[in-house]
A and B are shown apart, each in its own frame.
Chain A
């Protein structure tokens, strides 16, 4: 089972807290602050198990990133978890939608479903 989480979130404090929490629970985290950075990071990521995606971000937002991600046949199997303050606006086809603020226990348990520690 893969163990690397791609975390896409533009709020620095939130992103770093999430990263620490997931790393503290034994996962590998690659963090990006917008969709473009996340696309670039994909080249470096091995053993990707899940993408945690914010929607409202500068430069490239979550919707556009999700579209680009789905254009890559080798990554179609990767689950995408959206976390947003407007959950009803999440793009169709994502694996799960979490409403902000996401409780830490919930975040960890969702990641645990898809990733090896």
Chain B
């Protein structure tokens, strides 16, 4: 909730004095407060109306606000409520209400609901007010010191590093600058400074990143930066959004939660800057992260003190219950979010948190995916002995799935059940036999409610809350509260289940790649070798017909071997978001000459014209050979036999252009749109011969060119024939790792 009023003070300087806001409509009261709190340590700021107070509080961060309840126009409660709205979430200012009205419980409750840290009755006792204010002043100072120290230490080091880098730049030959700058960045400890490629894969990693995010460089380089985000942010597409903003606006900045390698959350200030080359093409992002968790914690501590004070003051049973609910919601909510991946453990935690404040006995039953009947996943009881008893009961007397009341019915109907009182007759009616009845009675059930865990399109299970032996009773109000909570729990469960299904798919894919990459090659090699053995024998026996059979066998096994490589490339590029390349210094002319000679040997009746100067650059030689073999072989295959295939390689505007051209029938219109798609239909058309592959060659060629940060496109017409153009930068962004 940000509004124009919400001026932010992210790095407040350490003020010598602690700012305190005094709000009262009566000058006499203000004078009294100023007298009581007069101290060189405090800066007292005065507001005469609620409106002024809200305005002031939105502009600066006060250590504490002393707020009169009874004011004309806008009273203290309304003022507090607006202050909360205008303050950035999670940064509420502690408020102490001052009131002359004696002992009105509902008012005190409302004050706490509005975020009161404390409540003081007029006439104020000077000692009491000084003591209370000094507690918050001390907290404020501690918090400020912490923030300032962090900011200064971090910024000093970064500034020193950058200055040193600038000096280095001035003094060093440019080839060394990058290396030295890199060393400096790598040694910065207070900031995680990370380079991402345009898709968000981590390319560099420094000491600060290791300290803040917990990964060693070799564990994270090449992985997506999504690893640092809470799962719910990833699902919501936040990562893509951030890169998108950085791409469009040059820069993305925010404070938010991130995840460390060990799963812990950290509150981080993150800046993502788009990096562009001279041609203004996006080449990646620089991501700078600062860990502000400590600052956030100290603020939380402040809030916690406020809660504790509130607990002390709230004495009636109703207040305690309300606080217990809030406490439960806060803790359970945290449990649901933070460990949502193992939802069974999470549900057990939630059930434990509910006892004893909200129930003497809490149990959760889930209908697991694929199962028809609910199974218990968590049971907690104030008395551990009873947990055993309850387990025994469910095992020996599983609930009748067709029962018209109870957990199965709640799951079927999705409607909650409330038993404010459990009469003896109900127990007797639900017991199967006398032993069952004895066990149920031993649980001493007095009041119960069962609420459904309702997911997006089915009821996932049910949560039961039971009061036993403690004289408490559930009301409709409690049911509404529990339903609300159960909805959140159900959402967490569904997320976790979706995540589990996804990891199963990923695991399957990895296994698939392993089978393809390893297990299929051995039998293929064995067939090849066996064919070669037979060929030896056929040759020595002068058996020509057998030699033909063996030639076909060999050609088929080669084709299959190529297909395996292609499917492997396809799978890798799909799973890893692109193909990996290993660039090395090379001359493209050597590669092209080799390919042309080899293809001429295989097709002695055809001619290929190669026009190429020496073209040095940093590319992956094996992968480029794959690309050009594929393109030139295609040109021979589909081009007309009478005219030569031409390969024209040259340098233009800082890019390398290679045109592979053949005359003859153009690529059919309907095929052109999906030319670079994997398994395209065109590979099955009449033009394809019996040696057709899987329709993966062009797809993979384009993936390879894209991995070099280049481009591959095709033009085809009856008058001009067909030309495939490969565009390559002299060097892809990623330097060779060795």
Contacts and interface: CB of A to CB of B under 8 A. Distances in A.
B517 A101 contact: no
Contacts of A13: 522-523, 526
A102 B521 CA distance: 9
Contacts of A24: 533, 536-537
B530 interface: yes
A21 B523 contact: no
Contacts of A17: 525-530, 533
A104 B528 contact: yes
Interface in A9-28: 11, 13-14, 16-18, 20-21, 24-25
Interface of A: 11, 13-14, 16-18, 20-21, 24-25, 56, 85-86, 100-105, 107-108
B523 A14 contact: yes
Given A13-B523, A14-B523, A17-B526, A101 B532 contact: no
A101 B536 contact: no
B525 A100 contact: yes
Given A17-B527, A17-B530, 5 more contacts: A20-B529, A20-B530, A20-B533, A100-B521, A101-B561
Contact of A85 (B518, B528, B536): B518
Given A13-B523, A17-B533, A24-B533, A101 B518 contact: no
A104 B528 CA distance: 7
B641 interface: no
B579 to A, nearest CB: 14
Contacts of A85: 517-518, 521
A86 B518 contact: yes
B56 interface: no
B625 to A, nearest CB: 14
Contacts of B536: 21, 24-25
Contacts of B529: 14, 17-18, 20-21, 104, 107
A69 to B, nearest CB: 23
Contacts of B532: 21, 104-105, 108
Interface of B: 517-518, 521-533, 536-537, 557-558, 561
19 contacts: A13-B522, A14-B529, A16-B526, A17-B527, A17-B528, A17-B530, A18-B529, A20-B529, A21-B533, A21-B536, A24-B536, A24-B537, A86-B517, A86-B518, A101-B524, A101-B561, A103-B558, A104-B531, A107-B529
Nearest to B517: A85
Contacts of B561: 101
B582 to A, nearest CB: 9
A104 B526 CA distance: 10
Contacts of B531: 104
B518 A14 contact: no
B526 A14 contact: yes
Contact of A11 (B522, B533, B558): B522
Contacts of A11: 522-523, 526
A57 to B, nearest CB: 11
B532 to A, nearest CB: 3
A96 to B, nearest CB: 16
B518 A102 contact: no
Nearest to B557: A101
- Of A17, A25, A56, chain B has the most CB atoms within 10 Å of the CB of A17
In the A-B complex, the 4 residue pairs with the closest CB atoms: A104-B532, A101-B525, A17-B529, A11-B522
Nearest to B582: A88
A107 B537 CA distance: 18
A103 B530 CA distance: 11
Contacts of A104: 528-529, 531-532
A56 B528 contact: no
A18 B525 CA distance: 9
Contacts of A18: 529
Contacts of A103: 528, 558
A56 B533 contact: no
B210 to A, nearest CB: 26
Nearest to B561: A101
- Of B523, B527, B529, B536, chain A has the most CB atoms within 10 Å of the CB of B529
A17 B536 CA distance: 13
B521 to A, nearest CB: 4
Contacts of B528: 17, 101, 103-104
B524 to A, nearest CB: 5
A56 B561 CA distance: 20
Contacts of A20: 529-530, 533
B581 to A, nearest CB: 13
A22 to B, nearest CB: 9
A83 to B, nearest CB: 8
A25 B526 CA distance: 17
A85 B518 CA distance: 6
Contacts of B533: 17, 20-21, 24
A9 B603 CA distance: 37
B568 to A, nearest CB: 10
A108 to B, nearest CB: 8
Contacts of A25: 536
A56 B524 contact: no
A107 B529 CA distance: 9
Nearest to A101: B525
A56 B518 CA distance: 9
B533 to A, nearest CB: 5
B427 to A, nearest CB: 62
Contacts of B518: 56, 85-86
- Of B517, B524, B526, B527, chain A has the most CB atoms within 10 Å of the CB of B526
Contacts of B530: 17, 20
Contacts of A107: 529
Nearest to A24: B536
Contacts of A86: 517-518
Contacts of A14: 522-523, 525-526, 529
- Of A18, A56, A85, A107, chain B has the most CB atoms within 10 Å of the CB of A85
A104 B522 CA distance: 13
A23 B528 CA distance: 16
A73 B232 CA distance: 59
B17 to A, nearest CB: 65
Nearest to B514: A85
A82 B518 CA distance: 15
A20 B241 CA distance: 60
B78 to A, nearest CB: 69
A86 B537 CA distance: 32
